[in-house]
A and B are shown apart, each in its own frame.
Chain A
Amino acid sequence: MKSVASCVESREYPWVLALGKTCPREHGNGRFGRTCLQWLMARVALFDPCYMSTLRPQDIGFARHILEALGDQVTMIDGRCCGQPAFNSGFHDEARGVGRQLLKAAQPHQVVVTTSGSCTSMVRHYLPTLFEGSRAAGATSIASRFVDFASYLANHPRLDKLTFKLEGVVTYHDSCHSRRELHASGAVKGLLARVDGLEVRPLLYEDECCGFGGTFSVKQPEVSVAMMTSKLDDISLTGARIVVSSDYSCLAHIESGARGIGMQIQGWSLAELLARALS
């Protein structure tokens, strides 16, 4: 049986991060290079994860706005799920069936930007382990085109053309999947540092989980709440009222806990913050 633990943690992003820097078809000629680039651009897809379209439908608009401001032509992928909820609960068959739908939808695209770190890591690392033989190879090839929003943006050749300006104070929650599975914390922090007038107050225990963990928050509510409370303590000590993260799943958990105990704290996804800061 194939094991999840044997998954390859690839840091290679074919096409995706090389975008515009080197022409993927080795023409060497500027004019052809440009054509190639446009051909690629037309195929940038933006994946709206299922939980975000349920919990925060407006955020995908923010992400799209930023990509279009960068000059990308965006195709939407929605109505799909990476299969992570079932996969993390041990239901691999169900996860495979649902994940296959996403891979099918992503097949024609060379770049699939995903607005959630945990979905990106699910697709890139774990989804291919659910398939056998030639299907696994196909799944790996499609999965490697997925990139999280922050890493895509941070490596975008035209990022310097955008200016971000927003007065205020936020704190940054480093989501576990962005941090440990995708190693994207640096990208997020780099993007936040580009916002003029924004003070980002670091958490004392930035590396600690907020206690969400998908179905973990339902299956082990007591432990999950204890972890969340400790995260809320840390957030409230910074004085900031807004928490920014590249994963809205963590933020939804933090927000729902904060509202429940009467704390005035809002969770903004990176896309929302950047879109509001775009001048």
Chain B
Amino acid sequence: MSYRERASREMRIERPSATVTPIMRKLVADSEAMLSRGPADARQRAGAARSYAIDHLEELHQQLRGQFERRGIGYHRCVTAEDAVAKVRELLGDAKRVAKSKSMVAEEIGLTHALRAEGIDVLETDIGEYIVDIEGRGPSHITAPALHLNRARIREMLARTGAELPDDDPTRLSRYVRDVVGDFFKDCDAGITGANAVVASSGRITIVENEGNVSLGASHPKLHIAVTGLEKVVADEAAALSILEVLAPSATAQPLTSFSHFLADPMPGQQRHVVFVDGGRSAILTDPRYRDILKCIRCGACMNGCPVYRAAGGLSYGSPYMGPIGAIISPLLWPDGRFADLPFASSLCGRCTESCPVGIPLHRMLLDLRGDAVSGKQAADFKERMAWKGWAASFGGATRARAATALARVGLRTFGRTVRPPGPQRDDPRLLPDPSQEHDPELLLKAADRRSIIPVAAIVEQPPADLPGRFAHRARQLGVEVVTEYESRDGDRVLTAAAGIASTGSVLLTGDQAARRPLLAANRVVVKLAAESIVAYPHNLESHLGDGDALILTGASRTADVEKIIVRGIHGAEDLLVLLD
């Protein structure tokens, strides 16, 4: 099926735009506001970190191997998707119950289906993934898989598994899935996660998440496998932090995700492996026209702003990767022509390039890919090829061109009023333009009243200039209580932060994961933070990260998988209190 067929089917039956467009309009505005908090050079820094990574890919992998050996983390590199699936299968051994969290690469290699075919019980533990898994059509957005479904549809989906839900309140829906997933975690053999970056200099794995399911999947079962793309390796912690600095603002308009993990040594008795999937990435790297696409950090900003994505939804792309990034990377990863029409699914408005936080010229790559599709005979039928030859011949000289335009003008004058554009579809309302149409200056004075509400310019907020003050301001915006003294309550767990981040209101927790378990079980978490350990921006955090496990906590565990409405307290405490001294 072509993109056009899928898109028109989606628009006719599912109407994704009604749900997606208003959500995305707000999200894009919020993202821009979040990025404008600074630092001003965040995008350049992130872009440079990714550029360095793809320019020194082999070198970094070499270094990473050594670090993984030191930590006892398994390093695996697989050339094809099939190899990767087989490797994961082999690593799983006799594991029967597997908790999987969100991973685009797992989606790309079809991991869940392949493992299930082998009789392994795989549960999608991300709330959005859990929902689309029931629907069975795959995710429609990189970071918000169930974006195309409204709450009523999600309730229907959950009912298919026997859930009895009295209404479709997003909090109720989200917490229902949380409970199902929580029960599964009590007895599972392995956790599979993705990875947002793998740090070559220290051998730590950076994973971001909001719900807490990655925390559980990476620390709870005896076996943790991270599946990720070959290109995800970065030089050092500074590079990883620079990426985090733009990732969540661009993806979900958060300052950072609730949990940003830096996973180090496996816990005693635990095994940890990272499976790097090539799947055509090395080939992309050798083509100077497209290698920059490997800079992508999978934030989804390109699709959030894309008018084509908003109109036809993510499932129309028919690929694990949707939106502008999908239109570029799908034909590159699967060069057999099945996605050759995706680069044409764009009006080339350039919104994607404008919003890309790592500076990939997305809409220009689409132009290159279109050229490739035509020269490789994967797009454009015989009729179209003839038409362009004819066009080139008639515009090959001025006289011919003048004659051609005159002819077209006469044709449009004669038939323009009545004829609809070519194409066998009766519901296209557009008429051909009419060159003889007179413009009527009277219309200038016939304007109706304005019916749209002009948004009032937001008040420019002025956060306190001092770091502790700014930290408290930002943390409170996330619903975190910041106090200088507190009354202890039953169920409180007290932790000490290694550092805080003023621009995001985050706290950094170091030390081994076992010590942080309480985070997931407590009613309320109290974090002690020394005011002098607060840094300005995430990228300033490098020296505080230590060498072991680290977790940057930004607000409470939460999800926004139902219509992007925030529900707090998923796998983890709903209340977070920071004791500043």
What is A's interface to B at a CB cutoff of 8 Å? 1, 3-7, 50, 53-57, 78-81, 85-94, 97-98, 101, 105, 126, 166-170, 176-177, 179-181, 199, 201-202, 204-205, 207-209, 211-214, 216-228, 230, 234, 236-242, 252-253, 255-257, 259-261, 264, 266, 268, 272, 276
Contact = CB atoms under 8 A, between A and B. Distances in A.
B312 A257 contact: no
B415 interface: no
Contacts of A87: 367
Contact of A226 (B17, B401, B444): B17
B11 A266 contact: no
B379 A90 contact: yes
Contact of A101 (B364, B395, B446, B448): B395
A55 B17 contact: no
Contacts of A179: 350
Nearest to B306: A209
Contact of B374 (A91, A225, A237): A91
Give the most central of B365, B401, B402: most A CB within 10 Å. Answer: B401
B267 to A, nearest CB: 45
B433 interface: yes
Contact of A79 (B399, B437, B446): B399
B432 A256 contact: yes
30 contacts: A4-B365, A5-B367, A5-B368, A7-B364, A50-B401, A90-B373, A90-B375, A91-B388, A176-B348, A176-B351, A204-B455, A213-B346, A218-B421, A219-B344, A220-B3, A220-B344, A221-B428, A226-B311, A230-B21, A236-B451, A237-B452, A239-B448, A241-B443, A241-B447, A255-B437, A256-B431, A257-B430, A259-B434, A261-B429, A266-B439
B392 A225 contact: no
A81 B401 contact: yes
Contacts of A55: 409, 412, 433, 435
Query: Does more than half of chain A's interface fall in helix, strand or loop, or is it mixed?
Result: helix
B7 interface: yes
Contacts of A209: 307, 347, 349, 351
Contacts of A92: 371, 374-375
B429 A257 contact: yes
A170 B444 contact: yes
B431 A5 contact: no
B397 interface: yes
B452 A238 contact: yes
Given A5-B361, A126-B367, A180-B351, A272 B398 contact: no
Contacts of A5: 289-290, 292, 361, 364-365, 367-368
A3 B398 contact: no
A62 to B, nearest CB: 10
A253 B428 CA distance: 12
Contacts, number: 250
Contacts of B11: 222-223, 226
Given A81-B395, A256-B432, A176 B368 contact: no
A94 B342 CA distance: 22
B422 interface: yes
Given A54-B405, A225-B428, A230-B21, A88 B370 contact: yes
Interface in B405-431: 405, 408-409, 412, 420-423, 425, 428-431
A219 B361 CA distance: 23
B62 to A, nearest CB: 29
B249 to A, nearest CB: 18
A166 B447 CA distance: 14
B350 A4 contact: no
Contacts of A253: 430
Contacts of A217: 347, 421, 430
Given A170-B444, A238-B452, A239-B451, A56 B435 contact: yes
Contacts of B431: 256, 259-260
Contact of A228 (B25, B408, B430): B430
A239 B346 contact: no
A239 B449 contact: yes
Contacts of B350: 176-177, 179-181
B55 to A, nearest CB: 16
A221 B423 contact: yes
A267 B452 CA distance: 20
A193 B101 CA distance: 53
Give the most central of A87, A242, A257: most B CB within 10 Å. Answer: A242
Contacts of B162: none
A101 B349 contact: no
B120 interface: no
Given A54-B412, A220-B4, A238 B450 contact: yes
Given A80-B398, A91-B371, A219-B344, 9 more contacts: A5-B365, A81-B401, A181-B350, A201-B447, A204-B452, A219-B4, A221-B428, A242-B444, A272-B439
B130 to A, nearest CB: 30
A268 B444 CA distance: 11
Interface string B471-509: 000000000000000000000000000000000000000
Give the most central of B353, B361, B392: most A CB within 10 Å. Answer: B392
